[in-house]
A = this chain, B = another copy of it.
Amino acid sequence: MKRVVSFRFMSDETPGPRGAARIHQAAREVLAGRGYSALTMEAVAAAAGVGKSTIYRWWPNKEALLADALAEVFKGEEIPDLGDTRAELRRAVDMTMDNYADAGLAIALPALAADLARHPELLARFREVFLWRKRGNIAAALHRGVDRGDLPATLDTDLIQDLWAGTIMYRRLMTGGPLDDDLAERLVQLAFKV
């Protein structure tokens, strides 16, 4: 299983602060412990034991920092070839559900997406990190399923992933419905029918 590759949201590709890990960690802790609205730069700085200016030297704003911090724990790794389409799809769905099981990510991601309206230059990178990378990996698994003849050749890999991720995010964010085994199984089955 490949390790999660962190992605820089910082303006240029400069290496980052010595305490980058500590700062990311602090951001996630504040988010998890006190909620999105309490996630202030000053709180993060204090939690990380770092000066505010150190954060601002390396990230242009809160959104960029948060995106980086979340990217580190966002799961989007490759699905290994298990020889079993159903099992692979289940792993893909679980990966998405894992991401949204974390209350921090679940709430922060859409809020972040909303805030990114202010920072359009970050939007593309945001999507790259939180969407395309994961989607590519899942698409690979779907294609293997098609190649094996398990899935219909007409399968729309984008649509199925929108169905998966959308439903999971929607339940977590809006309805508060369960993110359980049953849902996972039904979502997997969708791929065979769509």
Binding site for B on A (CB under 8 A): 35-37, 107-111, 113-115, 117-118, 127, 130-131, 156, 158-159, 162-163, 165-171, 173-177, 183, 186, 190, 193-194
B-chain residues with CB within 8 Å of residue A177 when the two chains form the complex: 158, 162
Give Cα A111–Cα B115 distance, bound, in whole angstroms: 8
Tell me if B35 and A118 are in contact (CB < 8 A). yes
Q: What is the oligomeric copy number?
A: 4
**Chain B residues within 8 Å of A158, by CB:** 175, 177
11 cross-chain CB contacts under 8 A: A37-B117, A110-B173, A113-B174, A127-B174, A127-B176, A163-B163, A163-B167, A163-B190, A167-B167, A169-B174, A193-B194
Report the bound CA distance from A110 to B112 in whole Å. Answer: 10
- A194 in complex: contacting residue of B37, B169, B186, CB < 8 Å: B186
Contacts of A107 in B (CB 8 A): 113-114, 117
Q: Which residues of B contact A35 (CB under 8 A)?
A: 117-118
- Taking the closest CB of chain B, its distance from the CB of A158, in whole angstroms, is 7
Q: How far is the CA of A165 from the CA of B59 in the complex (A)?
A: 34
